[in-house]
Structures are given as C-alpha cells and as structure tokens.
A and B are shown apart, each in its own frame.
Chain A
Amino acid sequence: MTSICLYFQIHQPIRLKNYTFFQIGYDHQYDDVQLNYQILNKVADRCYLPVNALLLEMIKKHKGKFKVAFSISGVALEQFVQYRPEVITSIRRLVDTGCVEILSETYYHSLASVYSPEEFTKQVKKHRDTIKYLFDIEPTTFRNTELIYSDAVAQQVADMGYYDTILAEGAPQLIENDDASFVFKAGETDLHLLLRHYKLSDDIAFRFPDQSWEHYPLTPEKFAKWVHTLDGKADTINLFMDYETFGEHKGAETGILEFLRNMPEAVLDNENFSFLTPAETVKAYKAKQQLDVPSEITWADAERDLSGWNHNHMQKDALKKLYGLEALVKESKSREFADIFGRLQTSDHLYYMSTKYWNDGVRQTFSPYKSPYDAYIIYMNALSDFEQLVKSTL
C-alpha cells in the first residue's frame, strides 16, 4: 500500500500601512486595514470559498477515501472571523466530514522557533487555543512556519507534549526525493517526521500553468501515472503546498481547480493507493529510520533555508531590533502589547525586505510595497513607535 498525504497551508499576513517617521510617537495603529480587507476578500472569493466547496464535494463523492489536512495561521483565522466568517463555517463543514485534519503552528506565522523559544511556545499555545475554540480540535501534528525544521525545533515541539508528528521539507541536501516517502523518527525525539515530496508537490504548486514546461499540460492522469510509478517503493507521498495555489496564485483559468477535482480519482484508480491525513499516516507505517537535521531547513527557494527571511542587512537589523523588544514587552505584562509584538513577528514582514531575487516577478507580486527598501522603512518606523510606546508605560 502507498498513501498520499495532502496538506494545504492557509495564511494571510496582516500587512502594515505606509507608516512614516512623521507618525512615530503619535500613531500606534500599524495595519493597512483596507488593503488587508481587500486581499482577504479577493482570496476568499477566488480560493478559500470555492475550493472549500470543491473539497467538500470531493470528500462526499469519494465516501471517505479522499482526505486532506490544513494548517491555518492565527492571523489568517483572525481575518476570516473579522471579514469573512463564512470561510470559518466552510472549514467547519470540512472538519465535520472526519476526513480533514487541522494542524498546529505558531499563531502569528512567525520565525520565533529560531529567535525565541519562549515566544515560540507562547504562540503555539495561542494557536492551539484558537483552533480549539473555533473547531473544537486539539491537533497532534505540528507544522512550523515555512516548514522551518531542525533537531532543535523538533526537540522544542516534542517538549511541549501535545504532538506525535511534525512536518518538514524533503530538502535535497538532506535526502533524495523518493527516499523521503516514508515515515521517519524526528532526531532524538519520539516525534514522527513526514517529509514533503518537493518534486511532485511543486509540479502542482509551481509548474502546473507553465507552458514552457515539457510536461505541460499536466493532467490528473499524467500526475497519477507518476505517483503510481512509486507503487511498492514508497509508504507515503507527502504533497504539501499553499492552499492559495488553487484559484489565487494559479487562477481558475489555468484549469488548476479541474485538476484538483479529478486528481484523486485518477490516483485511486490503482487500488494500491489511498489518501491519509498526517495523523493516520504515522499510525499506518512504522518509522523507517531516525533522521538527524542539525541545521535549519525550510520549504523555500532553491536553497531550502531561511535566507529569504534573514539574509540581508535590513532583515538582520530588523530581526535584532524586533527580538530586542521581547524583554520590554514581557516586562509590560500587557496582553495588548504582546499581541502587537506577535503581529510584528509575522514572517511576511521580513520576506518583503528580501533582495535575494530583486528582479524576480513572483516575489514582487506577493509584496504590497514598492520595494524591499520601502518594506524595511515602514517596518522599522512602526517598530520604533512600538518601542517608544512600550517604554512609555514602564
């Protein structure tokens, strides 16, 4: 038997407004409310609502044979509740089928696992509380922001005591792609480790609409054929990707929704194949071996590292200033400040400052700012105000 483990990431950052130095000391509201509202609505209409409906239809059609997992950042959930509560309702409907697993992550989609273990634990708990409140679920699988993973991250997660599974990238520097299609033991911990099959995942998430790709157009049958070649050679093929791939990053006109609709059927055509959630997967197979990952890997870029977030001087400077405020925020004992501090930790703020792919069109479309320099200036101005604000209360 070989199973497919599908996990979709849902995340929308709370973007900052064009906060100038004139506002420092006067204006303590940093969010671009209008922009966040617009983007959330756009993505809800193009992706979250229609694709949730599609998945519900597929789950019903396959009578329990089609399963998926979601991880939804706290800041995304917050915005759904605020602007489009029907997205929450539609996720609840999916959860009610019993074929959908909800994963755990940091509430603020932050890099705290790397910069502050204490903050990390706090944010994971805040996310657990939110998931419990909204969906009445206590997740047992953890996925970190951008799939940041290392032995140290695994240890932190294991120490929290809630989890038996953690997800990571099947990074090429770590393991050959097809060798990643098993359950592993996460370092010295008792956690199970599932690794993303980046080739098959990216065939859908990136290459699908690329007309210059040799395999264009990708049909469900073609994809199923590739999956079926792993028959007997793999336990679990882990397809992890952004949920926004469907309908948002890749518009409906590319045929991606039709692909999603028909792919499970094509895969299930071979009865040796099934769909399992992460929690079910680790129960179905024994861990093949222990995997040690001494330095951090992520699912990002060719390097599969953190360089998209902490590579240049601006990012390093911003991170230093940001986590330099941790003690102050703690000292203030203010929940409100803790929340603002958390929001400022959302990884997207740092990603917008990346100059790694200056001319890369993809990155530019994700950023709401004119340039990485503008992103940095806005962020630093807001951070400066926050610092003053917290200090003024101590």
Chain B
Amino acid sequence: MLGWEFPPILTGGLGTACYGLSKALSNYVDLTLIIPRAEKSLTLDGVKILGLNYLGLEEELAYEEPSVSYNTFTDVTYVDANLNPYPMGIMFTQISKPVLKAEDVRNLYNTNESYGPNIMDKVATYAEVVTKIALNKEFDVIHAHDWITYPAAVKLKEATGKPLVLHIHSLETDRVGTHAKHQVNAVYEIEKKGMEAADRLIPVSHFTKSCAMDHYYIPEYKFHPVYNAIDPEPTFRLEKQGDEKIVLFLGRITFQKGPEFMAETAFKLLQRYQNVRFFVAGIGDQLQKLKDTCYAMGIYDKFIFAGFLNKPKVREILAQADVYFMPSVSEPFGLSALEAAQFDIPSVLSIQSGVAEVMNHALKADYWDTDRFANYIYALLNYEGIRNDMIENTEQEIDAMSWDQSAQDVHKVYQTCV
C-alpha cells in the first residue's frame, strides 16, 4: 500500500483515513505500507511500515532501474497555484528530476511539511524509490491513496503487471473546482492517468464516484465506493463561558469548504437570532477573504477565527460546540463530521459531501442554499427536541460504523481483481 500522510503529522482527513483503514485491513491481508515519512515511534500491529525518511536506502536502491520511467507524468512542467491539496499556499512549482541518492531522499522527506513548494520533487522521487523497493518484494495488489502516490502506483503496475487499486480521498476538481479539467493542471492529469490505468477505483463516497465519472470520464465499472469510518473514542463536554451558542466550522478555509456560504448563512441567521457565535478553526487561502466578507457584512464580531488548531485544541472546542456546520462545495467524505458526531454535536451538512450519505440523521441542504442552512441552524439552537433525537439517532449510526467494515469492503475489492 502506498500512502502519503500518516500520523502523527496530518493536514486533513487523508492521513486519518489511511491509518484507520490500514490498521483494520491488516487483519485480512499481509500489508506493507510505504510512506514518505514515518515516525520510528509509530508502529502498527500487522502492518509493515516503510518510511523513506529513515530506511537504509542504499540496499533498497541497488536494483535495476525499471524500463518504464516517470516521464509519462512530466508532460506538464508548471502546475497551478492551487495544486496543494492541504494548507500552505504555494505558487508555481517546477517539477524536477527525482533525487536518488539515499541521503538526499532521506533529507527530502525528513520534514514536517508533507507537501510544500517542492511537492513535485517529492512525488517524482517517491515514484522512483517506491518502485525500486517494491520490485524486491512479494505482493499481489498495489493500493495507492490520492494523487501524490498515483505516479508511483502506476509505475509499479507497469513494471510488475500487478492489479492496481486506487483509493480516492479527494480530487483536484474538489479542491480547486471543476474548472481544473479545462486548464493545464498537472495534478488533474496525474489523477486522470492514474484512474485510467487502474483496475479498480475506491472512492470514499458515491458523491466522489460521480465526480470522478463526470469530470475525469472514467467508466462506472471500475468504481467500488467504500465509506470511511470512525473508531470509538471517549469524548467529553466542557461548560462554556456565557450562554452564547457556538456554531463550529472546522477545516481548511479554501474554496472547496464553502467559507463564503458560511458567511452568508451567518448573516441570514443573525438577522433574526443574535445569541450565537461562529467559531472558525482552520487556515487557508480564502481566510482573508472570509474575514473581509464578514467585516463588510457587519458580522465580524460574531466570528472567532482561531487559526489552525492541533488535535487537543480541536477536541476542546468540539466539547463546547452546539452545531457542527460543513457547507462544503465538494466534499469527498468529511471525516470531521463523524468526529463532531462523537462529541454529540448535531450536524448541518451540504448535500455535496460524502459523509451526508452515511449520516441519515444530519440536516442537509445544497451548499448554496443558505436560507435552508440558516433555518436548520436556527432550529438546532432554539428547539430542544430535534437536538436530542438527532444526537440519539446519530449515536446509533456511529456505533454501527467501524474501520473493520471498511477494510472488509476493501478486501472484497481486492478479491475481484487478483
């Protein structure tokens, strides 16, 4: 299995999902996970984790270079500014030749920045090194997570002929908008070529499946959606100061997450109800614009912009929030909604999110339907009955979810192609 983000360094749902899935999957298959950067302290029962940042690479690299090269993915030299899937805006990136000296490889990945301005170097090197490592190993299926690992996965398939399964946690068309397909966009091209080469595709929702079909023109037979899950975790509630209600927005402040629709919803709600504050946890390229909008609307004082929060801080605010609000324009899954649900927070979600497919007891509206969002949030803040029913019913749903179920579903997908 080829992954990119992995605990303890996470920037979004990708690493969390990879972790949960590989842990559960190790009960069904013999799993080797190759990631750019592993912590020696982190081990997972039954999973062999290889991190390029600390492996004795000299031995691993002693093999013949395979005949297929990375060139197929390097037709495009420049990539769009929004290439970066997770925080930290970078502008233009030139794809370099992969580095192959072991020490350089280690240095390349020994950083807390999983993406960064040299992301394409990292991706290209990863493809080279992974192929060399994997050619020396026995395996039946190649399983790769998101575009950063697709070049490696495709290269490995071309070198070995083994079945290729690509997991889709998010797409460039989610991250930058559907116009990605009309522009010169290296990430889009990588995703498209990867999906075309793949034998099976595992999107994290039916929503993402339809995005991949609509925007990447991939035939339906390849898709086997498998939902993300959440494992039980103890939660708690904190008494908050004052009686003001808290609506929580958690995530990157990017186009994809619909911050402008949050502002519009807040504006509408605040016309009729003022005992509320919007807590925004996260950063991103739309943060300043969001602040400007709120200021212009005269609702800035009803917002708290907390910036990027680490996990304990996130849990602290989850323990106080009254409503979880996710108006994403295009959300492949939205794992954070399940985390919020564990904290007994009722959710208001956009229909354009994968998690809406598994949360029957959330309130849902189209991402642009801010009237409906405002109406839902008003109800959750004012009427006791609906809160209690949603919480109780969601609890049952969450209890029935497990990464083990997702792993079983993934295992079934493997069985269709080996």
Give chain A's interface residues, CB within 8 Å of chain B: 20-22, 24, 312-318, 355, 358, 372-373, 376-377, 380-381, 384
Contact = CB atoms under 8 A, between A and B. Distances in A.
Contacts of B361: 373
Interface string B150-174: 0000000000000000000000000
Interface stretch (B38-46, B287-295, B334-342, B381-389): B381-389
B371 A355 contact: no
Contacts of B387: 313
B379 A314 contact: no
B272 A377 contact: no
B272 A314 contact: no
Interface size class of B (residues with CB under 8 A): 20 to 34
A373 B375 CA distance: 12
Contact of B385 (A20, A313, A381): A313
Given A312-B389, A358-B360, A22 B383 contact: no
10 contacts: A20-B371, A313-B384, A313-B387, A317-B384, A317-B386, A318-B385, A373-B363, A376-B385, A380-B382, A381-B375
Nearest to B268: A22
A380 B378 CA distance: 11
B378 A373 contact: no
Contact of B383 (A312, A317, A358, A372): A317
Chain A interface SS verdict (over half): helix
A22 B269 CA distance: 9
Contacts of B382: 21, 380, 384
A377 B379 CA distance: 6
A314 B271 CA distance: 26
B216 interface: no
A316 B390 CA distance: 14
Contact of A316 (B273, B363, B385): B385
Given A24-B272, A314-B389, A376 B383 contact: yes
B54 interface: no
Nearest to A313: B388
Contact of B375 (A22, A318, A358): A22
Contacts of A316: 385
Given A313-B384, A373-B363, A21 B389 contact: no
**Which of A20, A312, A358, A372 is packed against the most chain B CB atoms within 10 Å?**
A20
Contacts of A373: 361, 363, 386, 389-390
Given A22-B375, A313-B385, 8 more contacts: A22-B268, A24-B272, A314-B385, A317-B384, A358-B360, A373-B363, A376-B379, A380-B385
Interface string B347-374: 0000000000000110100000001001
A22 B388 CA distance: 23
B273 to A, nearest CB: 8
A380 B360 CA distance: 21
Nearest to A320: B385
A377 B374 CA distance: 12
Given A21-B379, A381-B379, A376 B393 contact: no
B300 interface: no
Contacts of B271: 22
Contacts of B308: none
B19 interface: no
B375 A314 contact: no
Contacts of B273: 21
A228 B19 CA distance: 68
A355 B393 CA distance: 9
B303 interface: no
A312 B376 CA distance: 19
B379 to A, nearest CB: 4
A108 to B, nearest CB: 22
Contact of A377 (B376, B388, B393): B376
Contacts of B371: 20, 22
A21 B272 contact: yes
